[in-house]
């Protein structure tokens, strides 16, 4: 089955990825990830709805009274906008969440990610981060934010990889694929909605949103991400109109 799926990664350090946000249920269950676009808006996967967003925390499960609590910011989602044409199970797996209380920028610990100006080059490494499973079986799980680097690949190469493994998955312009031929490093269950970023001119640019794949980190099977650049006009229209 297709799973929204960090395998083979390392723990993130403070300030490395200040735009990554944990999305939890109102009861405190870790659901998925998101990226900060501005003080009010987050980008995530389309199946994340009633949520509480936590920024400025490498371990969202830790208590608000723990060390580094001064960096922690919590806000409920007030409004969800789904990508035009989204229906559950379709490829348009992108949502924007408006926060009830705006996040405040804090010492490089809570900051927005940059949006892309154009389509990402397919010959570069991307970084994906999240609080999801560390293996496909969910045996090893971590409360700490993890990150991993994966190479972006062309749509044609991605389709070819899936076909070679027996999966006919059409890769259109709404998607980006990333992963190592040998597998071993990938996003995994619980990382859905988190950011895939590339470094351009010293800043991180939001290239993709974790959407799914076949298992986690399997050889020859790349991860699937929503292509943020394709939806850029829609994103800008919403986040500029609704502050």
Mind listing the pLDDT tens digit for each residue in 28-84? 888 889 999 999 999 999 876 668 999 998 888 775 545 567 789 999 999 999 988
Annotated catalytic, 93? Answer: yes
Q: Parse the chain into domains and list their residue ranges.
A: 20-112+231-241, 114-228
**For this structure, is 47 an active site residue?**
yes
pTM above 0.85, yes or no: yes
Is 20-112+231-241's fold the same as 114-228's?
Answer: yes
**CATH assignment of 20-112+231-241?**
2.40.10.10
Percent of the chain topping pLDDT 90 = 42
pLDDT digits (tens, 9 = 90+) for 146-191: 888 899 999 999 999 889 888 888 899 999 999 888 765 667 766 7
Q: Is 211 a catalytic residue?
A: no
Average of per-residue pLDDT across 118-143: 73
Q: What phi and psi values does residue 230 have, to the nearest 5 degrees?
A: -65, -35
Phi, psi of 239 (to 5 degrees): -75, -20
Burial of 241 (0-12, 13-18, 19+ CB in 10 A): exposed
Which CATH topology does 114-228 take? Thrombin, subunit H (2.40.10)
- The catalytic position among 191, 192, 211, 230 is 192
Choosing from 57, 93, 191, 230, which is the catalytic residue?
A: 93
pLDDT (tens digit, 9 = 90+) per residue, 192-208?
A: 889 999 999 889 999 99
């Amino acid at each position: 089955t297709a799973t929204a799926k960090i395998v083979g990664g390392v723990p993130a350090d403070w300030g490395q990825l200040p735009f990554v946000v944990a999305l939890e249920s109102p009861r405190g269950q870790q659901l998925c990830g998101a990226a900060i676009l501005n003080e009010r808006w987050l980008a995530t996967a389309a199946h994340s709805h009633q949520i509480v967003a936590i920024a400025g925390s490498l371990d969202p499960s830790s208590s608000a009274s723990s060390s580094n609590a001064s960096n922690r910011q919590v806000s409920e989602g007030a409004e969800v906008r789904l990508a035009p044409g989204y229906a559950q199970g379709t490829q348009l797996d992108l949502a924007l969440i408006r926060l009830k209380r705006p996040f405040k920028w804090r010492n490089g610990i809570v900051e927005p990610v940059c949006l892309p100006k154009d389509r990402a080059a397919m010959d570069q490494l991307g970084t994906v981060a999240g609080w999801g499973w560390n293996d496909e079986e969910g045996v090893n799980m971590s409360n700490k934010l993890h990150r991993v680097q994966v190479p972006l690949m062309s749509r044609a190469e991605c389709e070819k990889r899936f076909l070679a493994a027996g999966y006919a998955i059409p890769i259109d312009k709404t998607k980006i694929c990333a992963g190592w031929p040998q597998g071993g490093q990938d996003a995994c269950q619980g990382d859905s909605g988190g950011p895939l970023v590339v470094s351009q001119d010293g800043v991180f640019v939001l290239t993709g949103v974790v959407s799914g794949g076949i298992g986690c980190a399997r050889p020859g099977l790349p991860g699937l991400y929503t292509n943020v650049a394709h939806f850029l006009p829609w994103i800008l229209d919403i986040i500029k109109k609704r502050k």
